[in-house]
Chains A and B, each alone.
Chain A
Amino acid sequence: MTESKELQVKDKQAVATPAEQTRPGPVFTPVVDIFETENEIRLLADMPGVKPEDLNIDLRDDILTIIGDVQPWEAAGEADLLVEYEIGRFYRQFTLAETIDQDRIEAKLADGVLNLTLPKHAKATPRKITVATA
């Protein structure tokens, strides 16, 4: 990544979620980086405004779902002068090809970035099973 690169504004992408919304408001796709090492899959997602307690990560049948609820951060008595972005929930789903060791999934949320570590299942290592004699 070049150092001198200027950041460009990108519109947040609104999504239509497969499940119907019970709460009104837009839903956005967080931008992500996903990369894989030998032992784990790491996922970084930009979710500004999501507090750790409002983040919901679900892994079921190889489908990883990330939902981030956002509490509006503007106080009620404030009047809009300029609105360049919308505030809304974040939602994204991935299908994982690798089997994941569900017990060791780690999630960190710092500065509005979710850092998810999904360790791959240890390969079925050959293990000698000794039969205990009664």
Chain B
Amino acid sequence: MVISRNFFFPGWTRGSFFDELGRMQQQMVRLSEALQPRVFSRPTAGVFPAVNLTEDKDNYYLRAELPGVKSDALEIQVTGRNLSVSGERVIDTEGDGVRYHRREREGGKFSRIIGLPTDIDAEKVSAKLENGILTIQVPKAETAKPKQISVK
């Protein structure tokens, strides 16, 4: 069998034939990925809520999308370098006599701990909840701030 194939495709040994199959398979996978709608799959911790962490010279900013969460249902704690955000999202249940057409919004409890890369000033952490976006501003500790060193 192999010999006869080698007869028709003289350049192919058994190994390279399977290499070629593998290459074709890879191309098929790449093609099907390109055809699928764009879905963001990012390396996440898989813990609700998804957060974005940014920094500038003096602060870290932690932001999470928490639509429909009231500020009194949120608990934020600082322990060392760790920031803990927990709370509950309550979805009001409507009374009897309503017919649901879609029910995609979910409620429930959540809890997440985020470790920050440097020491922080726990006393000055501030948080605000605006339009369903939670923003926690975490000032860096003095020792963690970049120091400008002038060259003489």
Contact = CB atoms under 8 A, between A and B. Distances in A.
Q: Indicate the member of B69, B93, B102, B117 with the most A CB atoms within 10 Å.
A: B102
Interface residues of A, number: 48
Contacts of B109: 4-7
B48 A12 contact: no
A22 interface: no
B89 interface: yes
Contacts of A85: 40, 42, 50-52, 65
B97 to A, nearest CB: 6
Interface stretch (B1-9, B13-21, B25-33, B126-134): B126-134
Nearest to A46: B67
Contacts of A78: 54-56, 61
A81 B54 contact: yes
Interface stretch (A34-42, A56-64, A99-107, A119-127): A34-42
Interface in A1-30: 1, 4-16, 26
A127 B82 CA distance: 69
A34 B131 contact: no
State the main secondary structure of chain A at its contact with B.
loop
B123 interface: no
Contacts of B65: 48-49, 85, 112
A3 to B, nearest CB: 8
Nearest to B43: A84
Contacts of A50: 131
Interface of B: 37-42, 44-56, 60-61, 63, 65-70, 89, 91, 93-94, 97-110, 117, 129, 131-133, 135
Interface of A: 1, 4-16, 26, 31-38, 42, 44, 46-51, 73-75, 77-86, 109, 111-113
